[in-house]
Structure 1
């Protein structure tokens, strides 16, 4: 074994250490992607994906070289290790790997043009962390135009640092927006339970219940109401799972306004203004950007 000194670069991830904490980014890897796509001279895009896009219903010509699309999206997926702002757009683009069309290729190039404007963006893991977990979850009901399955998005903070996030299509079709929101609560509850166990294995006890923020009052009502009724029978398993977590004191659900829902960035294609506002609240930084 060799002591290679302080960590600075590992598998494409650049690490900068200071009194403020650890900053993780993939600037060189990002610039390599932009260069390979031939977009070093292109005009940067303000957001990674167009608002109100219709990529799921695209019917343009199929790409003659789908391998180029698969290679580009695959590289972007690895980039999302330190770029939570790409989670939603890559979730959409990765659904068309089998038969990508012209519209999908153009959307992937838009992501690359967005990266050109923010190559050094990354996550700051704060040193002054109180080691308490906090979760945010959201869903976009019937988001997929083909299957009408809803989209789950959630994120977890450790102190002020973003440590975990996900965008994923739900496995079943939800019959109401409340059901879709509730399934998102069940998904993030699994992650919070795992993270609490991970912290405990590292010698960090988390005695307080974890705050979980959701913007659906009806989903919160289902979580707290111990009485099942006809409209919740089809989500009974998730009901038991979340309610047990509340009873055990693992989570404390709370309501947050839709306009303040941080997980929106993982479930919807937002306009540049709202996208930038939510991104700043996630603790995403770009030390290379001009001040």
Structure 2
């Protein structure tokens, strides 16, 4: 497959399957700006009015909408598929894209409007991408959370987690849970089990890359009840209704593969992957997971060179 290179004032820039890589003195910046422009151009939205969040806070989408016109399924599926690919370098749109993905079977104008809102957000953030700073810290740590009964059609919850290697986010997930949970505690318990499984896979991968994680991986969650349930090897009334496979987290903790710790809700990074946020909270978490603007990185480089 063809790969093109060109020189820029920030170093070598490569294009591969729409992913652009810029090598800088203090890290690497990856984005899909050209791919995003082509997508906006294809849908005649290059001149649209931008928004500051991918989806309006408080929006509730549903499969059953009376009196709302249906839209072309092929067009909607193509749009959602293109947006899904963008989440490789734009995790800030992951939850919103996952939300509209639930309606590909029978999309309506409401669903299309929500998908185009994501495009309007991308129009205003074309220069944004993932920045991976240089670091000597290679400690793996994860955050996990859930949005209890967030889907108004089937009342299933959403699992979200993100893993950092040092200060850089390397893996993230936002996915509707396969079962209906009976409480926020159970929803968080299901989420932390999924997070632990992913942590084990990452540890195996890092070992193959000669970055072995000998100590247990910390998983931060903001639900004390679920944390206590995961650490308690005794089965009782509060947990006997939970499917057996979700108790795998207890074995992971016992074998010291992972370690569950409490974090305040205000410091929970994964909210950006489980719920719609207002702009201030969204902007804060977007920065934490490493989504940055290219021009701001250029200014940082120039300031360092001039100092």
Listed one character per residue, the Cα deviations across residues 89-110 of structure 1 (whole Å, up to 9, x for unaligned) are 1111111111110101111111
Alpha-carbon distance between aligned partners in 1 of 2:278 and 2:117, rounded to the nearest angstrom:
14
Q: Which contiguous aligned blocks of 4+ residues in structure 1 show a shift greater than 6 angstroms?
A: 2-7
| Alignment partner of 1:166 out of 173, 184, 205 | 173
Give me the whole-angstrom Cα distance separating, in 1, the residues matched to 2:161 and 2:287: 16
Work out whether 1:197 is the aligned partner of 2:237. no
Pick from 116, 126, 137 the counterpart of residue 109 of structure 1.
Answer: 116
**1:1-291 to 2 correspondence within 5 Å?**
8-56=14-62, 58-235=65-242, 237-238=244-245, 240-288=247-295
Deviations 1:178-199 (A, max 9, x none): 0000100000101100000001
Query: Matched residues in 2 for 1:201 and 1:217: separation?
Result: 34
Contact 1:140/1:152 (8 A) holds in 2: yes
Query: TM-score scaled by structure 1?
Result: 0.94
Asked if 2 retains the 8 angstrom alpha-carbon contact of 1:24 and 1:122, the reply is: yes
1:17–1:23 Cα contact (<8 Å) kept: yes
Q: Distance in 2 between matches of 1:184 and 1:84?
A: 18
Aligned positions, number: 290
Measured on the aligned residues, the alpha-carbon RMSD in Å equals: 2.0
Give SS of 1:211's match: strand
**In structure 2, how many angstroms separate the alpha carbons of the residues matched to 1:48 and 1:137?**
21
Alpha-carbon contact 2:164-2:171 (below 8 Å) kept: yes
Output the CA distance in 2 between the equivalents of 1:9 and 1:227.
Answer: 53
Distance in structure 1 (CA, Å) of the matches to 2:47 and 2:243: 54
Aligned mates of 1:162, 1:206 — CA distance in 2: 16
Indicate conservation of the 8 Å contact 1:223/1:239, yes or no.
no
C-alpha separation in 1, matches of 2:182 and 2:117:
34
Describe the SS at the equivalent of 1:49: coil
Per-residue CA distance 1:22-54 (angstroms, 9 max, x = gap) = 211000011111222212222111100111112
Provide the C-alpha distance between the structure 1 equivalents of 2:282 and 2:250, rounded to a whole number of angstroms: 33
Where does the alignment leave 5 or more consecutive residues of structure 2 unmatched?
A: 6-11, 300-307
Structure 1 residues 280, 60: CA separation in 2 closer, same or farther (over 3 Å shift)? farther
Distance, in Å, in 1 between the alignment partners of 2:177 and 2:203 is 24
Classify 1:20/1:43 alpha carbon distance in 2 versus 1 (closer, same or farther; 3 Å): same
